[in-house]
Amino acid sequence: MNLNIKGKVAVITAASRGLGKAVAEALAAEGVNIAICSRNKSAIEKTGEYISNRYGIEVLSIPCDITKRKDIENLKNETIKKYGTVHILFTNSGGPPTGKTLDFKTEDFRQAIELNLMSMIELVYTFVPYMIKQRWGRIIASTSISVKQPIDNIALSNVSRVGVIAFIKTLSREIGGYNISSNIIAPGYIKTERVENLIRNRMEKEKISYEDVSGDIIKNIPLKRIGKPEEFGSLVAYLSSEAAAYINGETILIDGGMYKGLF
Ligand code: NAD
């Protein structure tokens, strides 16, 4: 299948590692010009260099904390200076701390909403004018399976991510006429450094083996394995493409069938 996105420009946030990096690689492999960001300058530059060498393309690597408006403004200025416009926006951020509802203060919820919801809204407001002007755009917001079924012990994440669905679904109805699709991806378990760390933390805490912890996760996944970052990257590349032009306003799970609901 020809994805037909060679030469388009994509902004990918929280991309020094994990899901964001996998998306950057998948789009780079399709010949998309990419601007990647994360908070740490040396980490994002290292990832940019790796992708540039591996795929033989230039990569714009910008340090940017997506909870800070001035950092997003700088990300926009540098991207527009280099590429002139933006066609694809993939929004992603770090996860908030784990814990149960009453472990937290109200201020913790405010911070989680800044990290997972407000940053995405700020990014959309920043880049959507370019998509409207050129009458072509793809907005893909990454969330979590928790938007379909709350997960135990991640109260901040469960609460702060659902607004992303309402925002993107609303937006998809308003700007579709400009040939802009807006969709949400909801991953289950994908084997990034974060998930590796979660497994190792549980091993230490519960004094059990790597196989015990991963077996406990996998028993709830019909495909009997944790997902690969490149599988997540492929889905985003597809949604970014001409081939997926008619998919709009959807929340797409990538979870090996872990979600048990019918809808
Ligand atoms: P990760 O820890 O491997 O990578 C997170 C990335 O986000 C890093 O590049 C980090 O530098 C960057 N980042 C964090 N805060 C940032 C900020 N304020 N501004 C800019 N960059 C920032 O995590 P991951 O596994 O890739 O997950 C990414 C997101 O997806 C997280 O929110 C996570 O909770 C969520 N998620 C992941 C999975 C999974 O299985 N990996 C499943 C569901 C949801």
pLDDT in tens, 81-119: 999 999 999 999 999 999 999 999 999 999 999 999 999
Do the Cβ atoms of 131 and 178 come closer than 8 Å? yes
Ligand 1 centroid to residue 135 C-alpha, Å: 30
Ligand 1 centroid to residue 133 C-alpha, Å: 30
Ligand 1 centroid to residue 18 C-alpha, Å: 7
Burial class (CB in 10 A: 0-12, 13-18, 19+), 238: middle
Encode pLDDT of 165-180 as tens digits.
999 999 999 999 999 9
* Nearest ligand 1 atom, CA 66: 19
Instruction: Give pLDDT, residue 149.
Output: 95
Beta strands (DSSP E) in the chain are 9-12, 33-38, 59-63, 88-91, 137-142, 180-187, 251-254
Encode pLDDT of 12-28 as tens digits.
999 999 999 999 999 99
Encode pLDDT of 42-70 as tens digits.
999 999 999 999 999 989 999 999 999 99
Query: Does the reported pTM lie above 0.95?
Result: yes
How far is the C-alpha of 97 from the C-alpha of 27, rounded, in Å? 29
* Nearest ligand 1 atom, CA 226: 40
Tell me the two tokens of residue 174. 């308003």
Looking at residue 150, its amino acid is P
Residue 182, helix vs strand vs coil: strand
Return the residue whose CA atom lies nearest to atom 19 of ligand 1: 65
- Grade residue 138 by pLDDT with cuts at 50, 70 and 90: very high
Calculate mean pLDDT across residues 148-174: 97
Instruction: Give pLDDT, residue 88.
Output: 98
Instruction: Give pLDDT, residue 72.
Output: 98
Is the Cβ atom of 191 under 6 angstroms away from ligand 1? no
Give φ, ψ of 38 to 5 degrees.
-160, 180
Which positions ≥6 away from 133 have C-beta within 8 Å? 85
Name the residue of 62, 71, 92 to mutate for ligand 1: max ligand atoms within 8 A of Cβ: 92
- Grade residue 158 by pLDDT with cuts at 50, 70 and 90: very high
Instruction: Give pLDDT, residue 75.
Output: 98
Is the Cβ atom of 190 under 6 angstroms away from ligand 1? yes
- Grade residue 242 by pLDDT with cuts at 50, 70 and 90: very high
